[in-house]
Chain A
Amino acid sequence: MRRNLPILGVLAVLLVAIAIANPFFLEPEGFLAFVKRAAPLAILAAGQYFVIVSGEFDLSVGSLVTAEVVIAARLIDGDPGATWPVVLLLLAFGALIGLVNGMVTTLLKVPSFIVTLGMLLILSGAVFLWTGGSPRGALSEEFRQFGRGSLGPVPWSVLILVAAVAAVIALMRSDFGRTLLAAGDNPVAARLSGVRVLRVKTTAFVLSGLSAAVCAVLLGGFAGVSAKVGEGLEFQAITAVVLGGVALGGGRGSAVAAIAGAFTLQALFTLLNLYGISGALEFTVQGLILVLAVALGSVQFPRRAKSASTTA
């Protein structure tokens, strides 16, 4: 928990600042609306955390989200009966893309930066080819519920986020979490001590692909069919993870802090918006955060031996 303190502190400051600018934020509805908007990014950041902590990158998640939403619209085409089969198909597709990313990275020894950059281009090109530039079909109202609807006062996306966070914490406390950190920290030592590094890293990519699929279901539900829904999401996710203090290069950082990083980023965007600074500057802010956070992270060289054991 102590490791999460800095990011939680920053998040708290931002939340207070939002509440001062917009008192509606303190009401349950206002706060839930914020969590609902942050949920897709938080889930995507959780997926990205697995990959980054294992020492790799996943740049393909943004265009994977777009591809998933476009596929969903084309396959559902307004038919409510197709909702659940298509949701399952999306999850399977996300996992499959993650599996391909993971296997090419581990078995063929291509740097993940290149593998997933290639996947980003492949997916966005395929989407453009398939749709001719304008997505066809329509999502069913049932599908839209995941991103728009709510159970009583609590939006579905918030419930899905809670479930995802619980699953992530459980995973990081299991053997898998420990071996993942070990593989990211020092792959050679991990392999020598019996960790199946290739399998663990590939699993991390599969989890990232799955998180992109869940994110796509939420975002597609939120706004409907769109060929730009995932644009720039990969950088937001990486920024969130880095902001959470997770070390690029792997081995150190907690999943909860990465998710808190996503909330901090969303809070920062919300605050900028309340002060009338829109759109264009978001990228600048993201860039500043990325560079600053990584620069500050690399200042500290002497590594603690026990760092690999600190988890969520």
Chain B
Amino acid sequence: MPHIHRRVLAAAAMASLVALTGCSSDLPADGPGSGASSDAGKGADGKKKTGDQSSFFVQADYEAQLAMRTKQPTGPADKPWEQSIDPQPVDTAKYKKAGPYKLCFSNAATNNPWRQVGWKTMQAEVAAHKEIADFTVLDAEGKDDKQISDIAELTAKGCDALIVSPNTTATLTPAVKGACPKVPVIVFDRGVGTDCPVTFIKPIGGYAFGADGAEFLTQKVKPGGKILALRILPGVDVLETRWSAAKKTFDDSKLDVVGVEFTDGDAAKTKSIVTNYIQRHGKIDGLWLDAGATSVAAVEAFEDAGLPVPPLNGEDQQDFLQKWKDAKLTAIAPTYPTYQWRTAVIAALKILKGESVPKVWNLPQPAITEDKLNDYLKPGMPPLHYALCGCEKMDGYPQKWGGK
């Protein structure tokens, strides 16, 4: 008898659990930007379904980046890593000295494929210059505290120029400030909160990246179409800017953003999330991603569900470009070119030779469109290779980059 009693209890508990959790779907959307609230759409209070604007959003930077996309860069057209948009040259005569040079580099990390491709490209650039006698590198392994001590150590090693790729913006600013008076500093990729470095090298930026993908969807998806936005994680400036530009585009469009989810940049999580949305909404009409690493997993979710793949954006990773071609996707690939790793070395040498460099070196940041797909798809390169490495004519290509 107690057994039966227990089973009834268990069944009742399960039933009430289901009822309880089922009920909560009727609650209004909770917080802004929360993935769970996505299904509520535009709330009764007229709040945007994409949530509040990111605290990282700066209107002036946004407008400047969007404008830069159509500007003609100066410099050799066949070497985009030497080009710049809107350059404001600074005089470097006071840094001029005779070679050979000792270059130093404080690297934030090599913990993702994008950084691995960039790092290989940078090494190849250094190898191409005989005037660089020594290249000392410290890898901070993604830790702010290690990079702070790395920069201090390199500053004391008699470097002729110091290249820094900061791990985070705010925390590394004092370390860079400390190095500036002792050695010419070149910062690239992520920025720092001081203008003491001689030059700061970056592609146009995250707003342009995010807008490229979102604008493509507004053109390709019919009004009212359901859009799923996939982000890696919140709170990182270079990713927040991508999403905030896309959010602006979507808010001004007639598209219906049914969800904004965080994937941690993970293929398995991405595929599950997209599969869940397909199940829940029947279909999804467009897919926006803040980085290309998980695009292929998202595409597979549609393939495995037996549905056509909707328009989407990826990045210049080989696996996505290959999928794009093989499955004849409707896609665009905004980029954040890895060739900027070359530019950092070139800038250091220019400074030491007394040649002027732009104060902010804005590199061109092309988006790969369907008509240019074949130019960027490189057969034989590994799936995690980034096409915009600018490394095709360097010594050791393609083997050094893992190609055949």
Contact = CB atoms under 8 A, between A and B. Distances in A.
The residue among B2, B3, B267 with the most chain A CB atoms within 10 A of its own CB is: B267
A299 B382 CA distance: 58
A226 interface: yes
A14 interface: yes
A1 to B, nearest CB: 14
A193 to B, nearest CB: 26
A122 to B, nearest CB: 20
A13 interface: yes
B383 A132 contact: no
Contacts, number: 125
A273 B306 contact: no
15 contacts: A14-B18, A22-B279, A132-B110, A133-B142, A138-B384, A223-B297, A226-B266, A228-B264, A275-B25, A276-B25, A278-B36, A278-B38, A279-B36, A289-B17, A299-B6
Contact of A288 (B17, B264, B279): B17
Nearest to A282: B21
Given A6-B11, A29-B306, A132 B24 contact: no
A305 interface: no
B347 interface: no
Interface of B: 2-3, 6-7, 9-11, 13-15, 17-18, 21-22, 24-25, 35-36, 38-40, 109-113, 116, 141-142, 259, 261, 264, 266-273, 275-276, 279-280, 296-297, 300, 304-306, 319, 382-384
Contacts of A273: 276, 279-280
Q: Interface majority SS on A: helix, strand, loop or mixed?
A: helix
Given A273-B276, A288-B17, A223 B267 contact: yes
Contacts of A289: 17
A22 B268 CA distance: 24
A6 B10 contact: yes
Interface stretch (A46-54, A88-96, A177-185, A264-272): A264-272
Contacts of B261: 278-279
B383 A278 contact: no
Which range contains the number of A residues in contact with the other chain?
35 or more
A224 B265 CA distance: 13
B32 to A, nearest CB: 15
Given A223-B271, A223-B272, A148 B304 contact: yes
A263 B110 CA distance: 41
Nearest to A17: B18
A103 B163 CA distance: 52
B268 A292 contact: no
A193 B130 CA distance: 80
Nearest to B262: A279
A5 B3 CA distance: 12
A270 B15 CA distance: 16
Contacts of A288: 17
A163 interface: no
B267 A225 contact: yes
A2 to B, nearest CB: 10
B15 A13 contact: yes
Contacts of A138: 319, 382-384
Given A134-B111, A222-B271, A292-B17, A275 B22 contact: yes
A33 B272 CA distance: 13
Contacts of A223: 267-268, 270-272, 297, 300
The 10 closest A-B CB pairs, nearest first, are A276-B39, A223-B268, A133-B111, A226-B268, A229-B268, A223-B271, A275-B25, A228-B266, A226-B267, A6-B7
Given A6-B7, A275-B25, A277-B21, 17 more contacts: A5-B7, A14-B18, A29-B306, A78-B382, A133-B109, A133-B112, A134-B112, A223-B268, A228-B266, A270-B279, A272-B21, A273-B279, A278-B259, A278-B261, A279-B35, A281-B24, A296-B13
B279 A274 contact: yes
A10 interface: yes
